[in-house]
Chain A
Amino acid sequence: MSVLRSYFNKSRPALKELRFSFHLLNKNRLQRVSLIIIVVLFLIAIFAPFIAPYPHLIMRETNPVDRLQPPSARYWFGTDELGRDLFSRVLYGTRISLQTALIAVALALLIGVPLGAVAGAVSGFLDEVIMRITDIFLSFPPLLLAIAIAAFLGPTLENAMLAIAISWWPWYTRLIRGQAVSIRERQFVRAARAIGTSSTRIIFQHILPNCMAPVIVQASMDLGGVILTIAALSFLGLGAQPPTPEWGLLISTSRTYFLNAWWYSTFPGLAIFLTVLVFNLMGDGIREVLDPRTRKV
């Protein structure tokens, strides 16, 4: 065993790096648990229709007989003002939150990454213009732009996703540009340029793949924040509309009743809290692994 270990240590520095990264990631019990919970959340999102005890009682179908029931063996989280099962609604909310978060982030990446890659690769006037525009967008207080956009476009979940994408992309642009600038000075890029490869090809085939890593990391860390933002927008009436069982919307609706129906506010909020928490913990773990400074033993 030690022979194997010494072999790996001596002759394969790359493998050693991998082992080190994994060791760091696994080291923290909290992060391991977070990873498991995230997987569970995704499973819930995917299999919601099968797990929810009352899959029909989540949107339009109502059950006025059982309105505002406290948690019981029948309704684990209680019911809302229309008799719908809160537990099922919260489960479906997982689906909505994860889905919209992923789409919003994907959109932001779609806008921000190419812009940043171009800015970093070509420099000069185009670079300046793109970066100034990025600065302007970044000058808005976080989320304010999302609120404004969502308000002006009209309050739907789709517009909320769009609004978030529009306010989030500058971060990625800035990140990618920094990476691209350092990559473009590397040998293989110069070589490609020397043999006359077109700029577009250089950008997309050579530079971009090498920049993606920190961006992917940042994006996965952002998921928690995006989920929170969507909930906040829906709470303000700017995102999901009734009867969609989005967590933020649930909390907003609950305001009318929660003083006498504590479960109505509590459980959706707990769902948001837990989800964002595990994403943040995971993000911390990833950052710890990749940040060269915290790797010092």
Chain B
Amino acid sequence: MEKYFEIKNLAVSFNTFEGVKPVLNIEHIVIDRGETFGLVGESGAGKTVLALTILGLLPPHSAIIHHGHIWFDGEDLLQKSQKQLQDHIRGKRISMIFQDPMSTLNPVFSVGEQLGRVIERHQNIKGSQTRKRALEMLDLVKLPDASDMLRKYPHELSGGQRQRVIIAIALSCGAEFLIADEPTRNLDVTIQAGIMKLIDELQDELSISVLFIANNMGLVNVICDFVGILYRGRVVEMGASAQVIRQPAHPYTVTLLSAIPRSKSESLRFAKTDFRPDVDAGCPYYARCPLAIDNCRDGIPPLRNFGGRQQVACIRAKEGVML
């Protein structure tokens, strides 16, 4: 059976002045229709790069896609030209919410102008109809004073308001697949909750699939059905979020989970330290892994089934990692 969204063997590198640096090396990611998939990883793990790769928005001069497939509804996105992506995929079918609300909105255009332009691009309407639709979208993201909002410029809005506007714009394209790249990262904690709730509700209302990118498990737990753990460009664990949280199989997942302080005594159990020097070959987590053994240096461990839909890339996974 054809999968709705599947990434296979994707390898992406960046051209830096020190040579070619590998950034992504993803064996396998699967997302079903209507599912919410959370991608968790620390800063620099390559999450945003993955999002940009899906939409073909990597900087052309410095990014290299070595090989891989990104299957979306039967077509390989990596085989498509920029024009094809622009006309058929971007916005129309896959849409994206970026991290920093301030820098994502164009400062010299009003909310109404930005929202309107995107609406008119994807729906064959003009003028007053566009305005009507824009107001609808603003209502959808629960922004009060919608008609007033249309006239405003980005610098006149608060962080939370901007993020909602961005969600409105992203959704007004009518996409069925939403990539949310750390949408609450630059917001206060209280505002975060509001945005998360909004995304959850929208997902139900509009029946869209969501790839939710985050840097901590706490956020993912709230709305995601499935979760994938990204460490230095590789997926080291994947599975139903409830299962992974209850039974983390990869040492890194354990670290991530224990980083959520539940009580004073429990926190900081796995403090981040470099146990040993890095190796070029072998498991990427070798340097920090408390369970590392010599065999770990032999090669990159592949994703293997762990039970149910859970998959782990660790040769010591079966040994019940719950220290």
Contacts and interface: CB of A to CB of B under 8 A. Distances in A.
Contacts of B62: 297
Range class of the A interface residue count: under 10
Interface string A3-26: 000000100000000001001100
A17 B318 CA distance: 45
Contact of B15 (A9, A24, A297): A297
A24 B18 CA distance: 12
Contacts of A24: 17
B14 interface: yes
B16 interface: yes
A297 B15 CA distance: 8
Contacts of A9: 18
A85 B294 CA distance: 80
The majority secondary structure among interface residues of chain A is helix
Nearest to B21: A297
Give the bracket for the number of chain B residues in contact with chain A.
under 10
Contacts, number: 9
A178 B14 CA distance: 36
Contacts of B16: 297
B64 to A, nearest CB: 13
Interface string B283-297: 000000000000000
B296 to A, nearest CB: 20
A9 B18 CA distance: 9
Interface string A278-297: 00000000000000000001
A158 B62 CA distance: 51
A21 to B, nearest CB: 10
Nearest to A23: B17
Interface centre among A20, A23, A24, A297 (most CB of B within 10 A): A297
A82 B128 CA distance: 80
B60 to A, nearest CB: 13
Nearest to B62: A297
A72 B119 CA distance: 72
A184 B133 CA distance: 53
A23 B19 CA distance: 12
Nearest to B15: A297
A49 to B, nearest CB: 44
A149 to B, nearest CB: 41
Contacts of B14: 297
Interface in A218-254: none
Closest 7 CB pairs of A and B: A297-B16, A23-B17, A297-B62, A20-B17, A297-B17, A9-B18, A297-B15
Interface of A: 9, 20, 23-24, 297
9 contacts: A9-B18, A20-B17, A23-B17, A24-B17, A297-B14, A297-B15, A297-B16, A297-B17, A297-B62
